[in-house]
Amino acid sequence: MRVGSAKQGRIRVGAAIAIAAWCLASAGFSAPANLDPAPSKPASPAKPASPAKPSTPAAPKSPAKQAGPKKPWFKFDWGGGWVPGKIGVLEVDGPIEDPRWIISQIHALDKHPLVRAMVLRIDSPGGDVGAVQEIVDELVKFRDKGKVRRPIVASFAGVAASGGYYIACPADAIYSNPGTLTGSIGVILEFPVAAELLKKVGIEYVVIKSGRYKDSGNFARKMTPEEREIMQETVEDVYEQFLDAVWEGRSRQLREAVARETGKKVGNVRDGEARAWLRSLADGRVLSGRLAYDDGLVDELGGYEDALDRAAALAHLRGRPGTVSPPRRRRERSWMDYLGGMLGLPEPSGVTGRAVALKYLLR
């Protein structure tokens, strides 16, 4: 056994030396000429000089080659030539509830060594405000991380409304089908009220609280005017955050839309005019993809393949590069979901699991 182990060790060492030598040779390295000099020999006596021969005309020298850029000593060649990079594909499907799974997919694309751009495929009516904003923050980090900016191109499927539109705002370009349901820029906050029902069944709801507004939105009683005013103020603040996100990502396109509408030059459109245009669209209305394109909320009318081509062009990738898709989590469905599908009932677009939540959500 010892003899065999020693033999295997010598084979491994020899293989390692051979691989190292091949790498050095590929990189252009060669051993110095005097690495192993031969022993010097004694000088031999000088021979008598032979008579000079008639000189022959020298052949013309070829022009010296100009030094060009050094070629890399390695490249990935899988039969298709140089492989410059790939496009990551992130799919956001359904109501946006827990952002952690989507964020983990963004991180997976971020760590992939060949991903140079992202196509954000959206088919969502929106969701919780906090979840949507967390996803947007991670998309911005992906886009701006490193020395080379990685472009993001959003592609709208059937629905990309409210929070579904919000997460597309960091994109360098937005593609939408003409019939996509989009827009619905706004905030919604809902409270169920069951005071009359509890009264009929004889249930009394007792609340012990530390402050006057601690139980605002209690379903066992109606909301007071003061509580409604406070809630409205909160909704308006979150609504302004939505407008700021749209303006930050699409101020140029909104100016262009105002210029088309008013006949002005784009440079003559003031920020106040463009913001007023955005606010006129952000009243919760639902728009088709074509109307959103006319209003400056969408860059181009097209599908997923068009978005891939645009992402490749923005990232300066050759031809049609390959795509990388992180593993998707299969959506869990309850027996109520299957029953609703058998009866032809639409799936609920609301976010489940919370009695009250601020939402960027299509209604």
Domain assignment present for residue 153? The answer is: yes
- Does 359 have pLDDT greater than 90? no
112 or 2, greater pLDDT: 112
Type of residue at 360? Y
In this structure, of 32-41, 167-176, 223-232, 302-311, the range with the lowest mean pLDDT score is 32-41
Question: Using CA atoms, how far apart are residues 159 and 177, in angstroms rounded to an integer?
Answer: 10
Question: Using CA atoms, how far apart are residues 254 and 299, in angstroms rounded to an integer?
Answer: 10
pLDDT band at 5 (very low <50, low <70, confident <90, very high): low
The backbone torsions φ and ψ at residue 241, rounded to the nearest 5 degrees and listed phi first, read -65, -40
Structure tokens at 78: 């899988």
Domain assignment present for residue 62? The answer is: no
Domain assignment present for residue 54? The answer is: no
Question: Using CA atoms, how far apart are residues 311 and 142, in angstroms rounded to an integer?
Answer: 14
- Does 32 have pLDDT greater than 80? no
26 or 309, greater pLDDT: 309
Question: Using CA atoms, how far apart are residues 206 and 215, in angstroms rounded to an integer?
Answer: 11
Domain assignment present for residue 61? The answer is: no
What DSSP string runs through 72-114?
PS---BSSSSB---EEEEEEEES-B--THHHHHHHHHHHH-TT
> Which parts of the chain fold into alpha helices (H)?
2-26, 100-111, 129-144, 163-166, 195-201, 225-262, 271-281, 289-294, 304-314, 335-343
Residues in Cβ contact with 232 at an 8 Å cutoff, skipping those fewer than 6 apart: none
| Tally of domains within the chain | 1
Q: What is the pLDDT of residues 105-162, one digit of tens each?
A: 999 999 999 999 999 999 999 999 999 999 999 999 999 998 889 999 999 999 999 9
Q: What pLDDT is stored for residue 56 in this prediction?
A: 53
241 or 10, greater pLDDT: 241
Question: Using CA atoms, how far apart are residues 358 and 238, in angstroms rounded to an integer?
Answer: 9
**Owning domain of residue 180:** 86-361
Domain assignment present for residue 48? The answer is: no
Domain assignment present for residue 16? The answer is: no
Q: What pLDDT is stored for residue 135 in this prediction?
A: 97
Domain assignment present for residue 30? The answer is: no
Q: Which residues are catalytic?
A: 162, 214
Highest mean pLDDT among 40-44, 58-62, 287-291: 287-291
Q: What is the DSSP letter of 194?
A: -
- The CATH number of residue 234's host domain is 3.90.226.10
Domain assignment present for residue 10? The answer is: no
Type of residue at 134? E
Q: What is the pLDDT of residues 71-97, one digit of tens each?
A: 433 334 333 334 468 999 999 999 998
pTM of the model: 0.71
Name the residue with tokens 């593609």: 175
Mean pLDDT for 176-191 is: 94
Structural contact between residues 142 and 152, judged by C-beta atoms closer than 8 angstroms? yes
Structural contact between residues 194 and 219, judged by C-beta atoms closer than 8 angstroms? yes
What DSSP string runs through 212-246?
TTTTTT-TTSPPPHHHHHHHHHHHHHHHHHHHHHH
Question: Using CA atoms, how far apart are residues 120 and 175, in angstroms rounded to an integer?
Answer: 10
> Is residue 130 classed as helix, strand or coil in its secondary structure?
helix
CA distances in angstroms from 161 to 147, 185, 225, 286, 298, listed in the order given: 33, 7, 31, 7, 12
60 or 133, greater pLDDT: 133
Q: What pLDDT is stored for residue 53 in this prediction?
A: 53
